[in-house]
Structure 1
Amino acid sequence: MTTTRRSVLGLLGASGALLATGAVAGAASGTTLSSTSVDVRAFDRFVREQAAADAFSGSLLLVHRGRPVLARSYGRANDAAPNGPDTRFAMASVTKLFTAVAIAQLAQAGKIAYTSTLGTFLSGFPAEIADTVQVHHLLTHTSGLGDTFTMPGYLEEALTWTDADQVMTGTTDYIRRTSLEFAPGAGSRYSNAAYHLLGAIVAQVSGTSYYDYVREHVFRPAGMTATDFYTRPQWHTDPRIAHPYAKQPSGGRTDTIDQRLYVGTPAGDAFATCADMANFAAALQGSKLLDRAFTGITLNGKVPPPPQPGPPPPGGTPGAPHAVFQCYGPVTLLVGGQWVTGHGGGAPGTSTDFQMYPDTGWVTVILSNYDYDGGPSPVVKKARDLITA
């Protein structure tokens, strides 16, 4: 399906509500909710304007101290259905959080040490990788490994794979043939390859497939009943799954399912609803997936990311983080005196964002089947600015 701005506007439908009766009045008027002043009405109006301008398609959910405050859906999931609260979205790199929790569970059980080297669990890697790359490096993007999707020939071959075992073993084989860009711990580069290997470690240590382990030990105990690793054929045919509509140079958008793997990997493309991600936040912060100590180990900052090009933003710039740290999975920012911990994801036709605000009790889930130039959508930025103002 190829859409233009005119055709999408003709299809646009908004569904959703301000939720939780006790919170509705405050949310709608922009007044204080449980001692935290956030203008939810202004945010709701902003999202509506973005959707009307064909700048947002997807679903979002704002939760405050366990209570849903705002739920909205706009645009089309696919030819058969509009986006709605039950729409499953490809999560892109937000999937890395599930992989990180699986690793932490095995570490909590004493089956993995964060200082263990890759060669302890996986064979076939050259000694410079097997004996030096630690689980800690894989989790913090400091391993020296890069991005599977930029490896010569990878995507062309990967698009021909037709089962989950091919995706896992084939991707691991490509990473085995790569080399380190820097000594582990001596630099930082965002690495899909690293998180794929973490999933391979989960499979090796647990004695089951990565997918089955995460279903049984992450999705199920978190109450994520709609979340799964759906296959590309399911993506094509299941009306509950949002198709990825990628922006084209012409200005229209094109369905790009056939540019995605047969099934997602430990680095990306599990599918989830907004409500399931809110359940994940509650289970993770409530120590239902990990005990309190390992929850802290997972969510606390470990290393700062590398400096970004250009001058740093002034400390007084609204929404500018004062500190940024990579955790074991999430990224945590200090913005306006609040810690913001979560992950975003992006791919052609996909933009996802999941954030927890432990100081004030907010959780935001913003899932879109549109992609955006230069990073997160304006809706994601607006939500963070309002909550941290």
Structure 2
Amino acid sequence: MIEFNVNRRRLMGYTGAAALAGVMGSLLGAGTGNVDAAPAPELSGHGQIPPDTRPGGAYDRYVADLAAQDKFSGVVLLAHRGRTVLSRSYGWADKERRIRNHEDVAFNLSSAGGPFLPVAVLQLLQQGRLTLSDTVGTHLDGIADDIAEQVNIFHLLTGTSGIDAPRPDVQRVFHSREEVHEYNQQWARQATLVAVPGSSGAANGHTAGGGAAGAMAEQIIEAVTGTTFWDYMHEHVFGRAGMTGSAYYTRDQWLADEHIAHPYMRQPDGNRVDAVRNLDRDSLSQQGPGENPGRSFIGDVFATAPDLVRFAKAVRDATVLDRPYADLYTGANRPGRKPTSFHAYSGVLHIINGSQWVSGRGGGSGGVSTNWNVYLDADWVGVVLSNYDDLQEFTAILGREQQAIIGQG
């Protein structure tokens, strides 16, 4: 799977694609699904809401145009200080059952679910149940000796563990939580150390080693708490943040629940197929070629757009983490203008427009394109969740989002 870790280089690339696209003059009748009404609040003392973020603004029209051409299916949401400014939904969550996408539909986040795991670890840190300097071997057995002795929890969370691992078996169809759990345990124990942890050559966030590092961190949470990682996250992260529509859903729930969007993978003939109903079909997109997200019985986080805003607010309000640890999570003590980006527990932070710190995380797989940006200084959250895997159109939307919020794409 591919991650849309938002950075300046990528957003500059979006600008050109977005600038060539036309926009509609009216939203009436646009898109293939429902359009959610949204308030446009005036927040006294904090200036006007930028016109391009409002219903009927440039961003709204641009997404509607793509949806009308069936190049976007999903939900976009813009929120300021926790209040919705724009919310739109297009396309079908389940074409077979004729269920439309809407604001309360949960989407598979793929790698965009990465920011939740560090919250669980930091909760245990503030409770004194572990430290970030604990080595992997402090909590896990059966890990390679050099990893167990040299790699610590900080390395696992920041993508600097220096480990590598075999590529996961993307063709395997899993049939139970227990089967997935056992596979992840065995996979983590196949990891090898290929670079000095914490060194400049230890970055592994975009490799199978990065995934294995996350699996080790999940297993450390289980060792410390005595419960499954999934159950811990449901109660202590999603529950405390008020994320009532978000979970690690199983494939059975994916098929039965009307509030979970099905991923539609583009095929060689140009048509799209429902991934979760066609486990024998592969993704052909740049986002996880050969994958099918439905094959894992339980895996990625599913979240609704409003829940991602609730999570950002829960971090900002020190609800899911106490204040010092919430600040640690978001990188509140971030450097000045140099460097222009760095890795915090919440994701990669970077400066845009010369002054705005933004934390962004995205992901994609077959029929999945997701991204959510937290504009830390301006207190905006931008969410784009799609059950299509049309990468070019999706990245163009992200550039338009930034342009609408801060005036620069």
CA-CA distance at 1:75 after TM superposition: 0.7
Deviations 1:241-262 (A, max 9, x none): 1111122233222222232344
The 2-side partners of 1:70 and 1:322 are apart by 32
The runs of at least 4 aligned residues of structure 1 exceeding 4 Å deviation read 301-304
Residues 30, 64 of structure 2: 8 Å contact kept:
no
CA distance in 2, matches of 1:125, 1:185: 18
Amino acid at match of 1:74: Y
What secondary structure, in the 3-state scheme, does the structure 2 residue paired with 1:246 have? strand
1:68 aligns with 2:84: yes
Counterpart residue number, 1:167: 180
The answer as to 2:340 corresponding to 1:323 is: yes
- From 339, 356, 363, the equivalent of 1:338 is 356
Match of 2:252, SS state, is helix
Higher relative contact order (CA 8 A, sep 6+): 2
In the TM superposition, what is the alpha-carbon distance from 1:33 to its structure 2 partner?
Answer: 7.4
The partner residue of 1:155 within 144, 156, 170 is 170
Q: 2: distance between equivalents of 1:11 and 1:355?
A: 24
CA distance 1:252–1:145, shift in 2 (3 Å): farther
Distance 1:137 1:241, change over 3 A: same
Q: Is the 8 A contact 1:71 1:85 kept in 2?
A: yes
Q: Please, which of 196, 200, 210 is the counterpart of residue 229 of structure 2?
A: 210
* C-alpha displacement of 1:215: 0.9
Q: Which amino acid aligns with 1:255?
A: D
TM-score w.r.t. the length of structure 1 is 0.83
Matched residue, 1:200: 219
Using the alignment, how far apart are the partners of 1:325 and 1:247 within structure 2? 34
Residue 207 of structure 1 and its aligned partner are, at CA, apart by: 1.1
Distance 2:297 2:243 in 1: 19
Q: How far apart are residue 145 of structure 1 and its match? A: 2.8
Q: Displacement of 1:342 after TM fit?
A: 3.0
State the AA in 2 paired with 1:90.
Answer: N
Range moving further from structure 2, 162-171 or 361-370 = 162-171
Separation (CA, whole Å) in 2 of partners of 1:16 and 1:175 = 43
Cα distance in 1 for residues equivalent to 2:297 and 2:195: 30
2:262 aligned partner: 243
Tell me by how many angstroms 1:273 deviates.
0.9
3-state SS of paired residue (1:45): helix
- Pair 119,372 (structure 1): closer, same or farther in 2 beyond 3 Å: farther
Whole-Å Cα distance in 2 between the matches of residues 335 and 147 of structure 1? 34
The residue type paired with residue 227 of structure 2 is T
Count residues with an aligned counterpart: 351
Alignment check: 8 A CA contact 2:180 2:296 kept = yes
Query: Per the alignment, do residues 369 and 288 of structure 1 end up closer, same or farther by CA in structure 2, a change over 3 Å counting?
Result: same
Counterpart of 2:19?
A: none
- Tell me if structure 2 keeps the 8 A contact 1:164–1:262: no
2:143 is the counterpart of 1:130: no
Gap change, CA 1:277 and 1:128, over 3 Å in 2: same
Could you tell me which of 364, 371, 374 is aligned with 2:382?
A: 364
- Cα deviation, 1:84-120, whole Å, max 9, x if unaligned, reads 1111111111222111100110011111211111111
Give CA deviations for 1:362-385 in whole Å, capped at 9, x if unaligned. Answer: 111111111133795321221023
- 1:62–1:69 contact (8 Å) kept in structure 2: yes
Counterpart residue type for residue 280 of structure 1 = F
1:283 corresponds to 2:314: yes
1:12 aligned onto 2:32: yes
Question: Deviation of residue 180 (structure 1)?
Answer: 2.4
How far does the alpha carbon of each residue in 1:131-155 deviate from its partner, in whole angstroms, 9 at most, with x for none?
111111111111123466x24xx33
Q: Amino acid of the residue matched to residue 166 of structure 1?
A: E
Q: Match for residue 228 of structure 1?
A: 247
3-state SS, counterpart of residue 15 of structure 1:
coil
TM-score by length of 2: 0.79
Cα distance, 1:23 vs structure 2: 4.2
